Amino acid sequence: MSQATDLYCVMGNPVAHSRSPAIHARFAELTGEVLAYERRLVALDGFAEGVRDFAAQGGRGCNVTVPFKTEAPALATHCSERVQLAGAANTLAFRPDGSIHCDNTDGLGLVADITRNAGVALQGASVLLVGAGGAAAGVLGPLLQAGACQVTIANRTVAKAEALVQSHQALAAHLGAQLAASSLDGVAGAFDVVVNATASSLAGDAVPVAASVLRPGGLAYDMMYGPAAQGFLDWAAAHGAVPRDGLGMLVEQAAEAFAFWRGVRPPSAQVLAELQAQLALQAH
């Protein structure tokens, strides 16, 4: 690798199965950008040190995955409004003057996948967001900004859902949207879009909400992808909803990060189609 090659990485624990290096390598190839992108496994108590080391080695930017997204904003000198709302960041950029800028592209990725790739309008939609952890916090603001008129956050611990409502209340009021918190078994009515932002699929647990939340032909979206999302997708399809996993969100949030770093928008739809084709081949 020549000295001129800009270095990027994804930091997490675990990080071995991250598809980010392959996605960013393909983005670079298609846009003519010259960069290297690697995985960096960071000790659970070593995130700040890992970031400092990477920056000292000339790193230009990094993606942040579990469990460090909520730690990332504290290391930055400049946080986007999305980061301030979510309390979490998934993208850091190291500027030549030594400053660190951070953003959260998760919600942008989710909205892009739903509206552009799935072709489902969020303007005027009712949305059920299942879960109130970091994943949910990262997407609530962008869902509201995309025009969702009503968002209900359902969580096992209602207080966590209420805290998310509270932190986003001013934005919702400004946009004329309704926000509500609920327990998992207390959700009333059916929704145009249901987003599973819990790790229930990953853990192999049962779907945490009743099938009555699904509207026939409505979108049921799991932020997980591949086998991890299959239980939720099967449940959604069996009850008449349109299932979709989070592979598109992964590619689209990566595209937003790439544009944040390089100032160039990669062809995310093409890369998503290629990735879907690869995974379909592997499944057979």
What are the boundaries of each domain within the chain? 6-104+248-283, 107-245
Could you give the CA distance from residue 235 to residue 238 in angstroms, rounded to a whole number? 5
Share of the chain above pLDDT 70, in %: 97
Binding residues: 18-20, 65, 81, 90, 106, 131-135, 155-160, 223, 225, 246, 253
**Binding-site sequence positions for NADP(+):** 81, 131-135, 155-160, 223, 246
**pLDDT tens sequence across 150-192:** 999 999 999 999 999 999 999 999 999 999 999 999 999 999 9
Sign of CA dihedral 53, 99, 91, 259: negative
CB 10 within 8 A of CB 18: yes
Q: Which residue did the predictor score with more confidence, 115 or 201?
A: 115
Q: Which residues contact 128 (CB under 8 A, 6 or more apart)?
A: 151, 152, 154, 187, 191, 193, 194, 195, 209, 213
CA distance 284 to 38: 29
Q: What is the mean pLDDT of residues 241-255?
A: 97
Q: In the structure, what pLDDT confidence band is assigned to residue 204 with cuts at 50, 70 and 90?
A: low
Q: Decide: pTM greater than 0.75.
A: yes
| Residues 252, 118: Cα–Cα separation, whole Å | 12
- Which of 24, 69, 101, 215 is labelled catalytic? 69
Q: What is the CATH class of 107-245? A: alpha beta
Query: Does 69 participate in catalysis according to the annotation?
Result: yes
Work out whether strand 6-12 and strand 35-41 pair parallel, antiparallel, or are unpaired. Answer: parallel
What CATH class does 6-104+248-283 carry? alpha beta
- When pLDDT is averaged across residues 77-103 and rounded to a whole number, the result is 96
In 173-265, at which residue ranges do the beta strands (DSSP E only) sit?
Answer: 178-182, 191-196, 214-222, 242-244
Beta-bridge partners for 10: 39, 63
